[in-house]
Structure 1
Amino acid sequence: MKHILTIFMLCAVVLQTNAQIESGTKYIGGTIGGSARTTTSDYKTSSFNVQPSVGYFLNSNWMIGLSTEYNVTNAENYATIYIGGYNQHAVTYSLKSTVIKLGPAVRYYYHVSDRFSLFGEGSIGVILVKDKHTAENVEFYSDPNPYYRGTTTISKYEKLRVGLAPGIVYFPTPRIGIELKANVMSYQTNLSDEKTQALFSISNKSEFNATFNLASTSIGAGFYF
């Protein structure tokens, strides 16, 4: 009798684990990511992003939902400019780009085991971009002597972005998943007119990006209920 009861309890646990995702299951979660690197002694860049999302499962494999993103990127470039071959001064160019995205998303889950699942996520949405460009120690000529000052320009525009992101989920419990996602592919195009500032130009051209590195990878968690 004790053996039968033990087998019954084990079967109940297995069934509970297998039933963690089914038609009508809801999802709420998100990922965070970031990177920092110095390509040369004069150029530095860093980024941080948060991607909350919610979803609803049509069946055990397909989920539809809403995805958002908040991303901040900072870049600095240092340059030494020579005037007439003799005079020189250092110029610091910096960029702070803030991105907010909102749009629908769809995921397909492939369940490798009770604990692991692979997924592919496709998303489309409108992104709002705010770029702040700053140049310090820029030299301007005036008679009889040159003078120095900083300049700051702010650009705001909208883009349409389509993205593809594969990922993997580990389920420590039937309702909680630990996610690792890589935003490996994206296509985006400007929805705003081209705007040219004093130091920088915003291109209206469409962009296609395919990459896999630390900056494109994020980690997070999801709650399935």
Structure 2
Amino acid sequence: MKKMLVVAALAICSFASAQKGTILVGGNIGFTSETTDYSSSEVKTNEFSFSPKVGYQFNDNWTIGGEFTVNSAKDNTGSVETKDNGFKFGAFARYAVPLSQTFAVYADMGAGFQNAKTKVYGPGNAYAKYKADGMYVGITPALFINMKNSFGLNFSIGGLGYETLSYDNNGPDVNSFFFNFGKTVNIGISKNF
């Protein structure tokens, strides 16, 4: 499937390149699905995220801007269902290295604030709700393919990051470090103006 996406993208590529002094507008859509088998039950997790970005490309390699992410996740464990919704907003810096007029690799380094809300539904209509605030920092390497009319496709398969969440009402403080290469797939589109 991944090979078919790359071949399809290559078939419609033309020679366009981002230039110094342009505005970058783009975003990614991400989906993660995981199934874990325990001895007594199976846990299914699905997560969807949408991440728009706007930045200014001040030279041929560097772009700085703002980012926003909305995500939603759902876990099913037997008779317990957990729904998580969250958002992040912050700033990013992108360093891009062109490999040719068609391809480039880049790394996005982002940091900012985040918010999370969790709802847990149990047997017998049991219900619990939790809220948390925190911060995040991360780096995501990706492949960029230049398309017609300054449009581009972005592909990434994970990243490296650190997040904190502090839950309300004397809830726990959660610190997470993640290295999720190969566990997520993000496909995005961007345009330079």
Shorter-chain-normalised TM-score: which range? 0.7 to 0.9
- If asked which structure has higher relative contact order (CA below 8 Å, sep 6+), I would say 2
Is the counterpart of residue 171 in structure 1 residue 146 in structure 2? yes
d(CA) in 2 for partners of 1:185, 1:217: 14
SS at match of 1:26: strand
Q: How many residues get paired? A: 177
Against the structure 1 CA distance between its residues 208 and 158, is the aligned structure 2 distance closer, same or farther, given a 3 Å change threshold?
A: same
Against the structure 1 CA distance between its residues 186 and 73, is the aligned structure 2 distance closer, same or farther, given a 3 Å change threshold?
A: same
Against the structure 1 CA distance between its residues 192 and 76, is the aligned structure 2 distance closer, same or farther, given a 3 Å change threshold?
A: closer
Task: Identify the residue that residue 85 of structure 2 maps to in structure 1.
Answer: 98
Task: Identify the residue that residue 186 of structure 1 maps to in structure 2.
Answer: 161
Amino acid in the other structure paired with 1:178 = L
1:39-188 equivalences under 5 Å are 39-40=36-37, 42-78=42-78, 92-136=79-123, 149-173=124-148, 175-188=150-163
Gaps spanning 5+ residues in structure 2: where? Answer: 1-14
Contact 2:74 2:81 in 1 (8 A): yes
> What is the CA distance between 1:93 and its match in structure 2?
1.3
Contact 1:29 1:54 in 2 (8 A): yes
Gaps spanning 5+ residues in structure 1: where? Answer: 1-16, 79-91, 137-148, 197-202
SS at match of 1:206: strand
Report the structure number with the largest CA radius of gyration: 1
TM-score by length of 2: 0.85
d(CA) in 1 for partners of 2:80, 2:167: 25
**Coordinate RMSD, CA, aligned:** 1.9
d(CA) in 2 for partners of 1:28, 1:42: 40
TM-score by length of 1: 0.73
d(CA) in 2 for partners of 1:154, 1:71: 17
Contact 2:130 2:167 in 1 (8 A): no
Amino acid in the other structure paired with 2:30 = G
Contact 1:47 1:74 in 2 (8 A): yes
d(CA) in 2 for partners of 1:108, 1:32: 21
SS at match of 1:22: coil
Contact 2:158 2:182 in 1 (8 A): no
Task: Identify the residue that residue 26 of structure 1 maps to in structure 2.
Answer: 23
